[in-house]
């Protein structure tokens, strides 16, 4: 897959900056009340928040936490969705019916609301957040891979494999999945931006990552009370979030047009 | 069976499925709601009392049947904290959210249609349109909102900072909420119009000498409207969930603020009611969109499904 360089560039700005800012000699949750609400300076490039914590260090850590959540969620949902969809499409019949009705049910909800309900009931935190964001995310992969599998099921090379005695498992693994995978990969890149946004929205609402772990959304929320006197608390995490999502969207467009053959 | 009837029955089944999922979600959580509500120091008698009051001491299938029966009468139970009926709490928080949603939809349509149409008609509008749609999609509304407040309310003093009361109160929230939506819709409008242009009938009509304006009005636009309307329907989900975030930024006492408040207070009947309410609206809107569909496109009414 070709990746658009301009998008990658936007994505690299926050990543490289975060990597550099990680070297700042402050703890990301180190409270220093003497240094609270300091404007950006050489010592604190993005200023400090209401507890005197260094905004730059927190932003850098939050960027990587955010990306790690997105990557884990994409991996889980892509894996589960592809397996479910491939089995569903290849076997057909009652299994297909049950799995697809489950997918329909989950898609009847706005995905964000479902994730919100789950963290609301289970509590926030890193792994709960990943679970909540994965809960309905796999459905798009399932639909995608099911569609491909149904088409391939009737192909001659699959039938011939069956005739020479290949097991269903072997066929799915060696003849179906290689065709499903390129589409899944595109879908995975497509969904990254949405996951980053959903995660930071939940953290903004106070339901996602819990303090003292920094999150871009949570930092924007923290800064809202000081938006008049100390706008940097919200501004820099927001800017990083914006650049990450923009980078992902711009990288995707190329991927998207390549996937349009389906 | 007519298409409309079939679709209505399917919609009802989906609603029932959503209600079941919400019911199950509340039951499979590891935390015991009664203990969470009463705290660690609760007396066993107290726990027993609340449990029977919430009906949690009965077998799960009975709980499920009572729950569904209640839903048919729009009975969502009572709030644990205020003892009010959940349905009336939702109703009292409804109007700010409706205003916000309606104004945002109007903004979205007025931004994205001209921009999308222009971009598909003239090459020179391509860049501004795609710039806007990428920018609008990438900017998180909980970052845009505070920036708008800082610029327009604090620096320029054009709009109130937060709260509700007048039309002006809703302008910044609606701009915040509609930026992402209109960015997406602009992209869809442009894309679906351009896709129609690649189809054979467009070239055929052109070669027969029809004017571009005529073809656009009579053929391109009606055909392109189908995906556009689907997207608008699907965007209600984004609109409703976006409203949750936007209401928090601008302290609007709507459904979204109610949901977040109920979550932090662990008022589970209210959480359940609001989640169910929002998802019902989402399901009903999509049902409505499908029905509109069949009005616009006779193929759906007659031949079942259009290939998607």
Residues of chain A positioned with their CB less than 8 A from the CB of B241: 110, 112-113, 116
Q: Closest-CA residue in chain A for B145?
A: A224
Is B36's pLDDT higher than 70?
Answer: no
B279: nearest CB among A113, A217, A220: A113
pLDDT digits (tens, 9 = 90+) for B146-170: 888 888 887 787 777 777 777 778 8
In sign, the C-alpha dihedral spanning B171, B177, B180, B186 is: negative
Residue B260 Cα, gap to closest chain A Cα (Å)? 7
A7 touches A253 (CB < 8 A): yes
Chain-centre distance for alpha carbon B50: 34
Please work out, in degrees rounded to the nearest 5, the angle formed at the alpha carbon of residue A127 by the alpha carbons of A85 and A7: 70
CB-CB under 8 Å, A206 with B264: yes
CB A80 within 8 A of CB A131: no
Does residue B262 carry a pLDDT above 50?
Answer: yes
Band (pLDDT 50/70/90 cuts) for residue B32 is low
For residue B174, give both structure tokens.
């609606």
Phi, psi of A54 (to 5 degrees): -75, 120
Quick: pLDDT tens for A17-48: 888 888 877 777 777 777 777 788 877 888 88
Q: Check residue A44 and report its DSSP letter.
A: S
Considering the entire predicted model, what is its pTM? 0.86
Residue in B14, B140, B152, B279 to test binding to A, most A beta-carbons within 10 Å: B140
Residues of A in contact with B275 (CB under 8 A): 113, 116-117
ipTM of the complex: 0.83
Give yes or no for B281 touching A (CB within 8 A): no
Query: CA of A218: which chain B residue's CA is closest?
Result: B142
Please report where in the chains the tokens 């009837």 appear, as a residue. B5
């Amino acid at each position: 897959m070709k990746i658009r360089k301009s998008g990658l560039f936007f994505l690299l700005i926050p990543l490289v900056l975060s990597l550099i800012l990680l070297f700042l000699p402050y703890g990301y949750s180190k409270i220093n009340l003497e240094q609270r609400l300091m404007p950006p300076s050489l010592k604190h490039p993005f200023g400090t928040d209401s507890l005197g914590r260094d905004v730059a260090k927190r932003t850098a850590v939050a960027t990587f936490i955010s990306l790690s959540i997105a990557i884990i969620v994409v991996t889980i949902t892509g894996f589960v969705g592809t397996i479910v969809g491939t089995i569903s499409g290849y076997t057909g019949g009652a299994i297909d019916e049950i799995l697809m009705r489950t997918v329909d049910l989950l898609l009847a909800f706005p995905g964000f609301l479902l994730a919100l309900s789950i963290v609301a009931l289970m509590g926030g935190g890193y792994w709960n957040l990943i679970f909540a964001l994965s809960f309905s995310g796999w459905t798009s992969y399932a639909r995608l891979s099911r569609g491909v599998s149904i088409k391939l099921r009737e192909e001659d090379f699959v039938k011939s494999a069956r005739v020479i005695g290949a097991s269903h498992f072997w066929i799915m693994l060696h003849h179906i999945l290689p065709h499903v995978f390129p589409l899944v990969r595109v879908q995975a890149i497509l969904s990254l931006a949405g996951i980053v946004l959903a995660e930071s929205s939940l953290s903004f609402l106070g339901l996602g990552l819990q303090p003292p772990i920094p999150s871009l959304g949570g930092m924007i929320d923290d800064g809202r009370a000081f938006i008049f006197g100390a706008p940097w608390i919200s501004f820099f995490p927001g800017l990083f979030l914006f650049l990450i999502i923009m980078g992902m969207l711009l990288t995707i467009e190329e991927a998207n047009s390549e996937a349009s053959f389906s | 069976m007519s298409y409309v009837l079939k679709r209505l029955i399917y919609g009802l089944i989906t609603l029932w499925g959503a209600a079941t999922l919400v019911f199950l979600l509340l039951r499979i959580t590891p935390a015991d709601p009664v203990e969470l509500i009463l705290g660690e120091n609760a007396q066993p008698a107290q726990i027993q009392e609340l449990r029977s009051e919430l009906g949690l001491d009965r077998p799960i299938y009975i709980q499920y049947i009572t729950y569904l029966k209640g839903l048919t009468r729009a009975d969502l139970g009572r709030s644990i904290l205020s003892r009010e009926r959940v349905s009336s709490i939702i109703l009292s928080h409804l109007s700010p959210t409706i205003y916000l949603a309606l104004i945002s939809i109007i903004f979205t349509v007025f931004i994205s249609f001209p921009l999308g149409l222009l971009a598909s008609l003239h090459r020179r509008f391509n860049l501004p349109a795609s710039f806007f749609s990428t920018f609008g999609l990438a900017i998180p509304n909980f970052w845009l909102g505070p920036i708008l407040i800082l610029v327009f309310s604090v620096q320029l003093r054009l709009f109130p900072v937060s709260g509700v009361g007048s039309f002006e109160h809703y302008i910044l929230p609606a701009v915040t909420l509609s930026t992402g939506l209109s960015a997406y819709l602009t992209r869809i409008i442009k894309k679906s119009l351009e896709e129609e242009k690649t189809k054979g009938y467009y070239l055929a009509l052109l070669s027969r000498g029809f004017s571009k304006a005529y073809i656009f009005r009579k053929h391109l636009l009606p055909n392109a409207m189908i995906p556009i309307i689907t997207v608008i329907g699907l965007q209600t989900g984004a609109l409703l969930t976006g409203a949750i975030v936007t209401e928090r930024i601008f302290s609007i006492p709507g459904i979204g603020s109610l949901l977040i408040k109920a979550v932090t207070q662990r008022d589970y009947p209210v959480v359940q009611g609001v989640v169910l309410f929002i998802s019902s609206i989402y399901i009903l809107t999509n049902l409505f969109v499908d029905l509109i569909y069949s009005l616009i496109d006779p193929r759906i009414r007659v031949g079942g499904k259009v290939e998607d």
